[in-house]
Chains A and B, each alone.
Chain A
Amino acid sequence: MGKVEIRDSVLHQLASNYKPIVGNGFPEFRKESLRELEETPFPNPKDEAWRFIDLRPLNREPFLPVNESDPAEAGDVEKYFIPESESTRLVFVNGLFQKSLSSIEGLPDGVVIGNLADHAGHSAVVKHLGRLINYEKDPFTLLNNLSFEDGSFVYLPEDSAVESPIQLLQIYTDASEDYFTAPRVLVVAEPNSRATLIEDHIGLAENRYLTIPVSEFRLYEGAHLHHVRIQRDSLSAFHFSRPIAWLSRHAEYHAYTITLGGQMTRNEPRVIQDDEEVDFTLDGLVLIDGNQVSDTHSVMDHKYSHANSHQLHKVVVKGHAHSIFNGKIFVRKDAQKIDSFQENRNLLLSVEGLVHTKPQLEIFADDVLCSHGATIGQLDPEEVFYLQSRGMTAEKAKEVLTYAFALETIENVTVESVHDLLLDEVKRYTKGISIERMTA
C-alpha cells in the first residue's frame, strides 16, 4: 500500500471542510479534536491493528460534506419503521435529523429520546458527550468529533423504563457526489433504568459514501441496555463505527451487531467495566459476499472483579469477501472471578473468500475463567449428505445449513418485527449461494 500522507487521506481532506464550525456550537472538544487530528496520521498498514484490511479503496476518491453532494430524496422510508416503536422512533437521513419522520410520544417523566442539537444544554449531554470515547490515535473518531452537527440522545432517569424498543433509523440516500456523514449517539442510563435500542443503518441505493458513527453509552448502577445494531449499507459504502459502553456495578449491556451491507466495514465495539459485578454481551453476525470486507476489532475490558462477558462472533463468507476479527479480552490485575467467553466461528463458502481471525486474551489476574477460540470451516459434507438423503437437493441442504449457522445470534433479538426482518435478511443471503463456488 502506498504511504498516505496525513494531508492526502480522505479523512484529513474532509477535516478542512469542518474547520469553520470549530468553536461554534456545543462541543468544546471540537477544537481539541481538530488539533489532534492534524497530528494523527492515517492508519499505517504496518500497524498490527490495520494489517489485514486494505484501506486504499477508501482513499481512492474524496468525500464531500452531505450538503455539497446533491443528495436524492429519501422517498418512502416508512417501510423501515418497526411497529413496536411507533412512538419511540428517531429518523436521520444522511446524518440529518428528520423531525417529521420521527415520532416520540408519551415517554415516562424525565426520559428524553431526541436529537442532540435540541438537547445540547441537557446536563447529561454537557457532562458526557465526547467524554466516554476511548480510542487511541484514531482519526475516524476524531473526524466524527470534529464534524457531527447533530445526533441521537437518549436519557433514562433513575428507575425509569422505556418498554417500547427505541428505533434509531439511519437512512443513506443516493447522491450526485460521494458524501460523508458522522452519526453520533449518546445514551445515558441512570441507576436501575432500562431500554432497548434498535439501530438500523440502511443504504437506499448502491452509491459510495462514508459513514463514521460514534456511539457513547453510559450505564450506571443496575442499568440495562439491549442494543441491536443492523448494518445494511449500500454495497459501495464505507462504514467505520465506534460504539463504546461504560458499565457501573450491576449494569448489563447486551449488544448484537448484524453486518450485511457496505463495501468496507470496520466496527470497533468496546465495553469497559467501571465497577464490579457487570454482565455484558458483544455478539456479532456477519454475512458477506462479492467484494465486501468486514473487519471487527473489539475490546472487552475487565477492570474489576465479578464480570460475566460473552462474545460469539459468527461469520459467513461467500464470493471474494473478506472477514477480519480481532477480539481483545483484557482482564486487569486484581480483576478476579471473571467469567468470559469468546468465540469466532467462520463459515467459508467459497474458494476465493478470505478469513483472518485473532482472538486475543490478556490476563493479569489469576482467578478467572476465560475461554476463547476460533474456527474456520466449510459446511460439513456429512450434514449435507444427511439432508440430501432426506430428499433435499444439495443446494437446498446448503441453504438450510447456512441459515441454521446464522440463526444463533438472531435468536437473541427479542423484538419480534426485528427478529423477523433479520430472518428475511438471512434467507435472502443464503438463497444467493452459488453452488459452483461451493467447496463442501
Chain B
Amino acid sequence: MLEIKNLHAVVEGEGSEILKGVNLKVKSGEIHVIMGPNGSGKSTLAKVVSGHHDYEVTDGEILFEGEDLTELDPDERAHLGIFLAFQYPVEVPGVTNNTLLRESYNTIAAARGREELDPLEFDDYLEKKLALVEMKREFLERSVNTGFSGGEKKRNEIFQMAVLEPKLSLLDETDSGLDIDALRIVAEGIKQLHNEENAIVMVTHYQRMLNYIEPDFVHVMVGGKIVKSGDKSLALQLEDKGYEWLESLATVNGESE
C-alpha cells in the first residue's frame, strides 16, 4: 500500500534536513509503530507523507498504491485515502464538526467514486460512528476542536478517521495527553477501525498504547532515518533500555551529524 524509498526532506526555505533516507513498506492489514526520541523526525515523516507544505522532499519517493505522492497537494492525498490524525488538532472556530465532516466525506466520496450522502443519510451514518468513540450528539454542533480538552481533540481525530474511512491512517502521537479512560476509548476505536483493507502507522513516544493495540512491526527512528525494525517486543525493549543503545546505528553510514 505504502512504500517509502530513500526519503529525504528539508524544512521549506531553511534547508536543514530532517529526513535523511527513510525506507518503509506498509501493506494492507498491517499496523506499524514508529518510535524514537524527540527530534528524530518521526512526526515529520507523518506530515511529509500527508503533504504538509512546511517540508520539501529533496530525494526519494513516497509511493501509495504505486502512485508517487510527492507532487500531490494534501487534499489530493486525502482523496486517495490518506488520513493524518494530528498531534495538535487545529481549532476551527465557526465551523461545526458536522459541517466539516459532511464536506470532507462528500468530497472524498466523490473523488473515490463512492456515493455522496444527503444531510439525513449523513446524520444516520454519523450516529453509528459517534458510538465508536463514545461521543454525544451535541458534539456534532460544536465548532471543530474549539474549546475542546486535549483528550476531546484526540478523540475527535479518531472520530474523523472513523467517518472518513481512510485506507492509510497516520496517527501522530494520538496517545499523548490522554488520561487512562480516554486512552482506552481511543485505542479501542482504532482497533475497531482496523481491518484487512486498511493500514495504520502510529507515531508514538510511549509503549502504553501497545497494551491495547498489537502492532505487526515496530520501527525506531533516530537522526532522520529508521535504524531498527522488529516486532512488538522491540517496543518493550525500548521501554526498558531507552534509545541510547540505538543511537550509534544512526551514524554507522557516516551520514549523520
Docked complex: A366-407 residues within 8 A CB-CB of B:
380-383, 385-394, 396-397, 400-401, 403-405, 407
Q: List 13 A-B contacts (CB under 8 A).
A: A380-B90, A381-B53, A386-B89, A389-B83, A390-B103, A391-B78, A392-B104, A392-B107, A394-B73, A400-B92, A400-B100, A404-B143, A408-B94
Q: Is A390 a contact of B160 with CB atoms below 8 Å?
A: yes
Chain B residues with CB below 8 A from A394, complex form? 73, 75
Chain A interface size, as a band, is 20 to 34
| Chain B: minimal CB distance from A430 (Å) | 11
Closest to A403 in B: B94
**Interchain CB contact (< 8 A) of A388 among B78, B94, B111:** B78
| Chain B: minimal CB distance from A115 (Å) | 40
Closest to B160 in A: A390
Closest to A388 in B: B74
| Chain B: minimal CB distance from A314 (Å) | 11
A385-B74, A389-B77, A390-B78 known, 12 other contacts, Cβ within 8 Å: A382-B90, A386-B89, A387-B92, A389-B74, A391-B79, A391-B103, A391-B108, A391-B164, A392-B104, A393-B75, A397-B75, A405-B94
Given known contacts A381-B53, A394-B73, A389 and B78 CB-to-CB distance under 8 angstroms: yes
Expressed in whole angstroms, the Cα–Cα distance for A380 and B92 within the complex equals: 10
Q: Is B73 a contact of A388 with CB atoms below 8 Å?
A: yes
| Chain B: minimal CB distance from A109 (Å) | 42
Docked complex: B204-232 residues within 8 A CB-CB of A:
none
**Interchain CB contact (< 8 A) of A400 among B73, B86, B95, B111:** B95
Chain A residues touching B, majority SS: helix
Closest to A380 in B: B90
Given known contacts A394-B73, A405-B94, A386 and B86 CB-to-CB distance under 8 angstroms: yes
Expressed in whole angstroms, the Cα–Cα distance for A78 and B238 within the complex equals: 74
Chain A residues with CB below 8 A from B86, complex form? 386, 389
Q: Is B75 a contact of A386 with CB atoms below 8 Å?
A: no
Mark each residue of chain B from 234 to 257: 1 if its CB lies under 8 Å from any CB of chain A, else 0. 000000000000000000000000
Q: Is B94 a contact of A386 with CB atoms below 8 Å?
A: no
Chain B interface size, as a band, is 20 to 34
Does B84 interact with chain A (Cβ within 8 Å)?
Answer: yes
Docked complex: B99-114 residues within 8 A CB-CB of A:
100, 103-104, 107-108, 111
Mark each residue of chain A from 300 to 333: 1 if its CB lies under 8 Å from any CB of chain B, else 0. 0000000000000000000000000000000000
Given known contacts A386-B86, A387-B100, A392 and B94 CB-to-CB distance under 8 angstroms: no
Expressed in whole angstroms, the Cα–Cα distance for A391 and B100 within the complex equals: 10
Expressed in whole angstroms, the Cα–Cα distance for A76 and B51 within the complex equals: 51
Q: Is B73 a contact of A390 with CB atoms below 8 Å?
A: no
Residues of A whose CB lies within 8 Å of any CB of B are: 380-383, 385-394, 396-397, 400-401, 403-405, 407-408
Given known contacts A391-B79, A391-B108, A392-B103, A386 and B73 CB-to-CB distance under 8 angstroms: no
Closest to A404 in B: B94
Mark each residue of chain B from 32 to 73: 1 if its CB lies under 8 Å from any CB of chain A, else 0. 000000000000000000111110000000000000000001
Expressed in whole angstroms, the Cα–Cα distance for A381 and B51 within the complex equals: 13
Docked complex: B122-159 residues within 8 A CB-CB of A:
143
Expressed in whole angstroms, the Cα–Cα distance for A413 and B203 within the complex equals: 45
**Interchain CB contact (< 8 A) of B75 among A381, A388, A404, A407:** A388
Does B177 interact with chain A (Cβ within 8 Å)?
Answer: no
Does B15 interact with chain A (Cβ within 8 Å)?
Answer: no
Given known contacts A385-B53, A386-B86, A386-B89, A391 and B111 CB-to-CB distance under 8 angstroms: yes
Does B93 interact with chain A (Cβ within 8 Å)?
Answer: yes
Expressed in whole angstroms, the Cα–Cα distance for A300 and B95 within the complex equals: 32
Q: Is A390 a contact of B100 with CB atoms below 8 Å?
A: yes
Given known contacts A382-B90, A383-B90, A389 and B95 CB-to-CB distance under 8 angstroms: no
Chain B residues with CB below 8 A from A385, complex form? 52-53, 74, 90
Expressed in whole angstroms, the Cα–Cα distance for A92 and B215 within the complex equals: 72
Q: Is A404 a contact of B79 with CB atoms below 8 Å?
A: no
Chain B residues with CB below 8 A from A388, complex form? 51, 73-75, 78
| Chain B: minimal CB distance from A347 (Å) | 12
Q: Is B107 a contact of A391 with CB atoms below 8 Å?
A: yes
Chain A residues with CB below 8 A from B75, complex form? 388-389, 391-394, 397
